[in-house]
Amino acid sequence: MSDVKCTSNVFHPNSAMDFLPVGQLRQLQLARYQAIVRRAYEKVELFRKRMEERSLKPEDIKSLDDVAKLPFTIKTDLRDTYPFDLFASEMSDIVRLHASSGTTGKPIVVAYTQQDVDVWASVMVRTFAACGLGKGDIIQNSYGYGLFTGGLGAHYGAEALGATVIPTSGGNTERQIMVLKDFNVTAICCTPSYFLHIIERAGEMGIDFKALPLKAGIFGAEPWTENMRVRIEEEGGIKAYDIYGLSEIIGPGVASACCAQEGLHIFEDHFYPEIIDPQTGDPQPDGTEGELVFTTLSKWAMPMIRYRTRDITRLMTEQCPCGRTVRRIARIGRRSDDMFIIRGVNVFPSQIEEALLAVEGTLPHYQIVLTRAKGLDNMEVQVEVTADLFSDKIGAMEGLQQKLGKSVEHIIGIRAKVSLVEPHTIARSEGKAKRLIDKREM
Amino acid sequence: MKLNQLSVFLENKPGRLSEPCKVLADAGVNILTISLADTEQFGILRLIVPDWQKAKNALEKAQCVVNVTEVVAVEVEDKPGGLQNVLQVMEQAQLNIEYMYAFTFRRENKAIIVFRFEDPDTAVKLLQQKALKILSSEEVCQRVEG
Amino acid sequence: MTTFAFENRIWEQDETLSREQLSKLQLERLKQTLEQVANVPFYKKVLAENKLSPDSIKSLDDLRRIPFTNKEDLRQHYPLGFMAVPREQISRIHGSSGTTGKPTFVAYTVGDRERWANLCARFLVAGGLRSNHLVHIAFGFGLFTGGFGLHFGVEKVGAGILPAAAGNTPRQIMLLQDLAAEVLICTPSYSLQIAEVARAQGIDPAQLPLKFGHFGGEPWTEDMRLEIERELGIMAFNNYGLSEVIGPGVSGECVARCGMHIQEDHFIVECINPDTLEPVQQGEQGELVFTSLTKEAMPVLRYRTRDIATLDYSPCPCGRTGVRMSRVVGRTDDMLIIRGVNVFPSQVEEALLRVEGTAPHYLIEVDRPGTLDEVKVHVEIRPQDFSDKMSQMQALRDRIDREIHSVTGIRMKVELVEPQSLERSFGKAQRVIDHRNDK
């Protein structure tokens, strides 16, 4: 893989920062780091309190090595400060809010000023440019639009790139394929597993996928493997690029693959990365695997200081054949918590529990089974039937199935199949059932 | 004059049906009548047995989910129109039937139809008024086991 | 009802041009549009056949020499035969339901997007929006123009946006409560759904922080407005648009709320008798016909909307001079609007055809039992479709359900009914019963 030539390397003016000499980049990062810590300290009570507990002042950050002294921010901090307490801007300066699911009922809300939205669009332009796209490309955006940052994030970037954007949003695979074909789409944005589903479905519809003008896929919002990339590229006749982002940091546009397709370049002038030991929290040297931590260097409405992503990866410092100087992260393989991603949506088992509890008031034994058929992720929630839940009427049992399904959908936002299973069929170890069985082949 | 029917939850998978049947056989319970309603994912087995409490205990011991429901067994002539007499009564009174199943026993040329009514008490009253033969548990037992 | 003080603010001075200035501008822009459409083979042919050129248009009356454009014309030039600029200049593509499985697609240049956002900003500001507000948008995004049009309009004004999109009403209510948006944007029926679900959760919808709302995407009535205002304790504004013309932003209400100001510096409106195709008398009901004046990517000439309304040219106290259209009171075709989505019965037929090879007898029943449209499709079972296994029958029902969703984009409740149970008159079945009209 290392001898890949970057023949498709297209230079876009927005990408200039990707190529900044490292010394200059570190200077810029330090200046921005100091400014954002000051802003967080002055505007956000949580950050100020935590810094005070450690007798830290913004001016104590004299070098990038000093950032290790700063406290981490974790996902539950967003829940505990819901909805507004991590905002550093007045509501009148905030032009956008997005939300993603938290570990329990209340979502996590993130905020953007106009400047933040502009930065977001610019890092997405850099993402598309790194993937060889530019003006003249026809980009079909099949990420879901709405509270999820994927849809609007990619949309703004593609428009700013000067491409033609078709905002198909998620779902309705046949229509997606019709649009791909009828508009000579050259690039698609979606989750990698959904793209596999599109290829499968197109095959069933008798469409020769490789004959389509589609040349690139901008895939993210869920973990995938090198094997899957190879399969997508072979079966789809396209280049499959991995992109990375999370709404707590900005949304998509935190890091992106380039023509070399080996690791994802972090847009380091806006997002400062660290790798830590997930157990001790100690910073790890470049190249060591550990948990990825980001500090937003320019996010005005909602700065994040040392946010723990729970994603496990390593920082790659070797020179990339594409010439970009910003560091890369290796493909994300796993997480340090029990969150799983299905069809691009983050789900915690605790949310499923909450949904089941909401229906009958008591928590039945349950198990979440994840499978992937024809590229499409399916979540089955198996619920053991108890005497309380059982009725001799088919209609009532189907009603129960539906109610449980709706409740799950309300909390996590996607449909799940609920199966009623006989009691004691879910395996238990030490009285505790294993909650998640992931049978997906990545 | 209502009967207790047992219903058992089953997943729609091969081999699921034999398990409760084996449990009952081992417990020496004779099944008088049985019906199975299926959906794509699960089924509901409905049983009438001579000693429902004994059967229920055995099934529950085997960790089955069991429900007891009141149903009404009506005896009709096993000839064209036999069922119609009962249905007419229900239709006139606008009483809803949730489900039903039937079985015949040749010896007396009679059929027994088991009904699950939305409102069994009213249904029993109406059927009795029309002089239709409603069977008790013992009577069903007698007819079937002879 | 509400303590929110509505002040009449005008976003752009062009909204108040005198009739004379407006006519002059319209004529000038109409000529430009005729030049622009010469790039569209369909219009090039139409203009040539009718010996029309930009120079032959001497007055606005000459507009009537141009033939009408119908949805069918767009369909025949699928996907983008009506584009008047090179493909590289297209920045965005949207779509709306077609009469069959293929949607009607429309295109925008960067300039079109800019003007569109501005047109939406105009009516949003006319209806109270200011830059310090937070707006909860519960419209679906995607190919549908509704969500995007309003989103970029709000952004233009500089207000905050929560792009909640459609669905998951309990979560919407939680966000409305917790984030305290002042403004709600969605279909009018969905706003009532929010109120109903809130009530069911023990929340008084009038106590939500909302102050006003902009509603569109489906026809509604004055009674519904009163209900929305009472239930949610807000002021409710109406707006109108269709994707073939631009999307939302064709017209919208001001604080006087006596009709929706058509943005006449961008669209010429006519109101015609759908049978004779002649203009109706002023104030009479007729079908609205629009000619776009500033669209680059996809201008339309005399586009027949099939929407029936009246026009009111009397002056409005707000100072805007654009003619006001009434609410849409009906359609001249069989299109249904279900939860803001346009649906043609022919689409349902196509879905059934896909599942079963030939379309069985069916009946579409539309109702609004509470606040939300519900559609039932009764499908007669034929011997070849029947199975004694309940699971197979359920699978058939699910397949029909999926196909209908795939073709129309909305979920309908499929009911399998006995053969010959749907009424037929003269061998031809009635395809649609709309109970919403009974109320």
- Which one of B12, B37, B40 has the shortest CB-CB distance to C395? B40
What is the amino acid identity at position C95?
G
What is the residue extent of each domain of chain B?
Answer: 3-69, 70-145
Tell the CATH topology of A13-337. Rossmann fold (3.40.50)
Q: Minimum mean pLDDT among A279-293, C234-248, C414-428: which range?
A: C414-428
Q: Residues of C with CB below 8 A from A394's CB?
A: 390
* Cβ within 8 Å of residue C187, ≥6 positions away: C139, C215, C216, C217, C218, C339, C340
- What is the set of domains in chain C, with CATH numbers? 13-333 (3.40.50.12780), 338-438 (3.30.300.30)
Query: A115 at the B interface (CB within 8 A)?
Result: no
Q: What is the pLDDT of residue C1?
A: 39
Homologous superfamily (CATH) for B70-145: VC0802-like (3.30.2130.10)
Question: Going residue by residue through chain A (442 aa), what tens digit of pLDDT does each one get?
Answer: 344 445 556 678 889 999 999 999 999 999 999 999 999 999 999 999 999 999 999 999 999 999 999 999 999 999 899 999 999 999 999 999 999 876 666 889 999 999 999 999 999 999 999 999 999 999 999 999 999 999 999 999 999 999 999 999 988 898 899 999 999 999 999 999 899 999 999 999 999 999 999 999 999 988 888 989 999 999 999 999 999 999 999 999 999 999 999 999 999 999 999 999 999 999 999 999 999 999 999 999 999 999 999 999 999 999 999 999 999 999 997 888 888 888 888 888 888 888 888 887 777 888 999 998 887 888 999 998 888 888 888 888 888 998 999 888 888 878 889 999 988 888 776 656 678 898 987 6
Which chain B residue has the Cα nearest residue A392? B7
C147 and A145 within 8 Å at the Cβ level: the answer is yes
Q: What is the pLDDT of residue A432?
A: 61
CA torsion through residues B81, B84, B86, B92, sign: negative
Which chain A residue has the Cα nearest residue B12? A421
Chain C interface mutation, best of B13, B38, B41, highest count of C Cβ atoms under 10 Å: B38
Distance from the Cα of C361 to chain B's closest Cα (Å) equals 26
Average pLDDT, chain B: 86
Q: What SS3 string covers chain A?
A: CCCCCCCCCCCCHHHHHHHCCHHHHHHHHHHHHHHHHHHHHHHCHHHHHHHHHCCCCHHHCCCHHHHHHCCCECHHHHHHCCCCCCCCCCHHHEEEEEEECCCCCCCEEEEEEHHHHHHHHHHHHHHHHHCCCCCCCEEEECCCCCCCHHHHHHHHHHHHHCCEEECCCCCCHHHHHHHHHHCCCCEEEECHHHHHHHHHHHHHCCCCHHHCCCCEEEECCCCCCHHHHHHHHHHHCCEEEEEEEECCCCEEEEEECCCCCCCEEECCCCEEEEEECCCCCCECCCCCCEEEEEEECCCCCCCCCCEEEEEEECEECCCCCCCCCCCEECCCCEECCCCEEECCEEECHHHHHHHHHHHHCCCCCEEEEEEEECCEEEEEEEEECCCCCCCCCHHHHHHHHHHHHHHHHHHHCCCCEEEEECCCCCCEECCEECCEEECCCC
pLDDT score of C3 more than 50: no
Per residue in B60-80, pLDDT tens? Answer: 888 888 888 899 999 888 888
Query: A394 at the B interface (CB within 8 A)?
Result: yes
pLDDT score of C108 more than 90: yes
A392 and B7 within 8 Å at the Cβ level: the answer is yes
Q: Residues of B with CB below 8 A from C391's CB?
A: 12, 38-40
Query: A390 at the B interface (CB within 8 A)?
Result: yes
Q: Residues of A with CB below 8 A from C166's CB?
A: 146
C391 and B12 within 8 Å at the Cβ level: the answer is yes
Q: Minimum mean pLDDT among C284-293, C351-360, C422-431: which range?
A: C422-431
Q: Residues of A with CB below 8 A from B37's CB?
A: 394
Query: C405 at the A interface (CB within 8 A)?
Result: yes
Q: What is the pLDDT of residue C395?
A: 84
Q: Residues of A with CB below 8 A from C150's CB?
A: none
Query: B11 at the C interface (CB within 8 A)?
Result: no
Q: What is the pLDDT of residue A184?
A: 96
Q: Residues of A with CB below 8 A from C179's CB?
A: 83, 97, 109
Distance from the Cα of B39 to chain C's closest Cα (Å) equals 5
C160 and A91 within 8 Å at the Cβ level: the answer is yes
Q: Check for a shared fold between B3-69 and B70-145.
A: yes
Chain A interface mutation, best of B18, B65, B68, B69, highest count of A Cβ atoms under 10 Å: B65
Q: What is the pLDDT of residue C410?
A: 87
Q: Residues of C with CB below 8 A from B37's CB?
A: 390
pLDDT score of C60 more than 90: yes
Q: Residues of A with CB below 8 A from C162's CB?
A: 96-99, 147
Chain A interface mutation, best of C157, C171, C391, highest count of A Cβ atoms under 10 Å: C171
Partner chains of B (3+ C-beta pairs under 8 Å): A, C
What is the residue extent of each domain of chain A?
Answer: 13-337, 342-438
Residue C66 phi, psi dihedral angles, 5° rounding = -85, 135
pLDDT score of C366 more than 80: yes
State how far the Cα of A221 lies from the Cα of A189, in Å rounded to an integer: 10
Q: Residues of B with CB below 8 A from C394's CB?
A: 39-40
Query: C111 at the A interface (CB within 8 A)?
Result: no
pLDDT score of C101 more than 70: no
Residue C260 phi, psi dihedral angles, 5° rounding = -100, 125
Q: Residues of B with CB below 8 A from A391's CB?
A: 7, 67
Query: A393 at the B interface (CB within 8 A)?
Result: yes
Q: Do B123 and B114 touch, CB atoms closer than 8 A?
A: no
pLDDT score of B59 more than 80: yes
A96 and C160 within 8 Å at the Cβ level: the answer is yes
Which chain C residue has the Cα nearest residue B42? C391
Q: What is the pLDDT of residue A339?
A: 87
Q: Minimum mean pLDDT among A88-102, B120-134, C105-119, C389-403: which range?
A: C389-403
State how far the Cα of C434 lies from the Cα of C429, in Å rounded to an integer: 15
Other CB atoms within a 10 A radius of the CB of residue C188 amount to: 24
pTM of the model: 0.84
DSSP string, C12-32: -GGGG--HHHHHHHHHHHHHH
C395 and B39 within 8 Å at the Cβ level: the answer is no
A398 and B5 within 8 Å at the Cβ level: the answer is no
A422 and B67 within 8 Å at the Cβ level: the answer is no
Q: Do A344 and A141 touch, CB atoms closer than 8 A?
A: no
A162 and C91 within 8 Å at the Cβ level: the answer is yes
Q: What is the mean pLDDT of residues C128-157?
A: 95
CATH for B3-69 (3.30.2130.10, 3.20.20.70, 3.30.930.10, 3.40.50.880): 3.30.2130.10
Q: How far is CA C283 from the centre of its chain?
A: 23
Distance from the Cα of A168 to chain C's closest Cα (Å) equals 5
Architecture of domain A342-438: 2-Layer Sandwich (3.30)
Q: What is the pLDDT of residue C396?
A: 87
